[in-house]
Amino acid sequence: MNSEGRPDTDLDDLRKHLAALKAARKLYAKDPEEARGTSRRLASTLARVPGSSLGSAGQAVVTAPDEHVQAALEGLVAALEQEIELVSAPRGVVLLVEDDASLIKLFSHTLTQKGWTVAVAGTAQQAEAIARTQHLSVIVLDLVLPDADGRNLLLHFKRDSHTATIPVIVASAHDDSHVQAECFALGASDFLKKPVKPKKLLDLVTRRAIAAPASGSAGPGRGTSLQLADTAQLRAAFGNATKTQGTLAMIGVASSQPGTAPPAGATITRAVGRIGAAIAKAIGGQGIVARIGVEELAALFLDCNTDAATRRLEEVRDSMTQGIGSELDLAAGITPITAGMDLDEAMDEAGRLLYLAIKSAGARILSDSAAVPLPTVKILLAEDDELTAKLLVYRLTREPGFEVTHSPDGLDALAAAEHEQIDLAILDINMPGIDGFDLLSRLREIPRYADLPVAMLTALGSERDVVRGLELGANDYIVKPFSPTEVIARVRRLLGRSQRAR
């Protein structure tokens, strides 16, 4: 039994309940009143199992009139026997994406003792290779890996049609609310804060494996038009859009008051969900809407040019005035899909327009950057690796209005920040002078940088360093090696939530 007084999916607990219920069934021949009482007490614990046939079958026994309890008991026994069959069935393969040797040993022992086969990947590259060659039931994912940010790996799994429907359980020492929300938005089934109790992990793995559809079943057309798609469905549908006159829109929320940042957290998450449902309803079968992150949607319009897509979004915006709160406004960037364009390119271009729409004091739905004045954004890059710095400076300065000040030394970077007003900082952890942690602390001591958007850049692959940076006031972290396009997307999101960019 768990702390809530109901049975877990532990096989021993289920068998104990079954034995007790069968004994109550036999008791009916001698003492019907006692049998009814026993049956209802046992059923009351099973009735508290959410999302399970046991819950409804148990509730039926609890609420049945006296003369019908015996019949309801037969249904509960049958449901419990079916649950035991599912739980005791031959196990599948759990992919454990984790680089901590002690946790690997602990989780592997717990899972294999219950019949699971465990495949271990210490890096994102190994995880991708295993996912391509093995049929997986569940993925348990750490967020900080030596070669990647686990959120990017989660996004990869959900974009790949072969792994899109596999349940992913995130287990991380970092439990900041915005990271949890992002993981759920990207398709995670559960988020566990380390240290994780092995029994809790086993219970989740078992439940998710039983409930999950067969891997590879994701595809366009699944579900109703009001359901938001995943990135695997979006990618599949995008291939068809390149053959017609398609349009892609990146959609988010902006403050209804120009010059102010929208409220963060659950308010935006709920608003984006409502906007997504409204757009999906407006598109119907002529497109697809997918949730890309906590604060962004991607809408694919088939056989629809940018003008028509703009009109549809404006109609949704007008109808949603009261639905998302008076302090919020729908914002969107729209780009036509041309021959040879891939989804990432289209999302990058539409994402740039979305950023401009959010920062703009005028138009909120943009298909042309010339329609609004470009904001000037000054970015401080503190990075001592020459190749990494060159790559980031090149990609950042390609963005209209972005200006980059690069310092390979922590003390020089601090001096640059004190000398001029910066709007965003990207800080490497290991640097000469002072390290990224000290630099972050000193920046936060400067009053005008109390709310400066800061992303930590690290190749250490250690959750301890990530958690420390976030505790010191970092807003996000980027693990090397990284995709320049992903860095730009993160920068835009940070700036979109900030009032600092002019």
Q: Do both 363 and 382 map to the same domain?
A: no
**Amino acid residing at 138:** V
User: Per residue of the chain (502 residues), what is the pLDDT tens digit?
Assistant: 443 334 445 666 778 888 889 998 999 888 989 999 999 988 888 876 654 567 788 888 988 899 889 998 988 888 888 777 666 655 689 999 998 888 899 999 888 877 788 999 999 999 999 998 888 989 999 998 888 888 889 988 988 878 888 889 999 887 677 788 778 878 888 899 888 888 888 888 887 776 555 444 333 333 333 457 767 678 778 876 666 678 999 998 877 766 566 555 556 667 777 888 888 888 887 888 887 766 788 999 887 888 989 898 988 888 876 556 667 788 899 999 887 788 888 888 898 889 888 887 667 888 887 777 777 899 999 999 998 999 999 999 988 889 999 999 999 999 999 999 999 999 998 899 999 999 999 999 999 998 899 998 876 556 677 778 888 888 888 877 777 887 888 888 888 777 555 5
Residue where one domain finishes, among candidates 371, 390, 417: 371
Helical axes 69-87 vs 198-211, angle rounded to 10°: 100
Q: Do both 464 and 388 map to the same domain?
A: yes
0.75 exceeded by pTM: no
* 169 vs 191: CA distance, rounded Å: 6
> 191, 174 in Cβ contact below 8 A?
no
DSSP-derived 3-state class of residue 22: helix
Q: Which of these, 448, 383, 398, lies nearest to 422 by C-alpha position?
A: 448
Q: Do both 415 and 492 map to the same domain?
A: yes
Contacts of 438 (CB under 8 A, 6+ apart): 410
Token couple for 176? 């900041």
> What would you report as the CA-atom Rg of the chain, rounded to the nearest whole angstrom?
26
In a domain? residue 223: no
Q: Which of these, 344, 346, 219, 352, lies nearest to 288 by C-alpha position?
A: 219
Q: Which of these, 418, 413, 443, lies nearest to 428 by C-alpha position?
A: 413
In a domain? residue 502: no
Q: Do both 367 and 256 map to the same domain?
A: yes
Residue where one domain finishes, among candidates 87, 118, 150: 87
In a domain? residue 154: yes
Domain residues for 66?
11-87
Q: Which of these, 428, 444, 435, 414, lies nearest to 477 by C-alpha position?
A: 428
Q: Which of these, 48, 46, 3, lies nearest to 197 by C-alpha position?
A: 3
Q: Do both 80 and 99 map to the same domain?
A: no
**How far apart, in Å, are the Cα atoms of 257 and each of 261, 329, 353, 362, 367?**
8, 9, 19, 11, 22
Q: Do both 334 and 444 map to the same domain?
A: no
Q: Do both 123 and 198 map to the same domain?
A: yes
* 68 vs 41: CA distance, rounded Å: 16
* 164 vs 123: CA distance, rounded Å: 19
In a domain? residue 293: yes
**How far apart, in Å, are the Cα atoms of 496 and each of 245, 261, 454?**
30, 7, 13
Q: Do both 293 and 381 map to the same domain?
A: no
For 116-244, strand residue ranges (E) read 117-121, 138-141, 144-145, 148-149, 168-172, 190-193
For residue 148, the domain's CATH number is: 3.40.50.2300
For residue 281, the domain's CATH number is: 3.30.70.270
Q: Do both 123 and 151 map to the same domain?
A: yes
Q: Do both 387 and 366 map to the same domain?
A: no
Residue where one domain finishes, among candidates 327, 349, 371: 371
Domains of the chain: total: 4
Q: Do both 241 and 313 map to the same domain?
A: yes
**Which residues on adjacent β-strands are paired with residue 97?**
121, 141
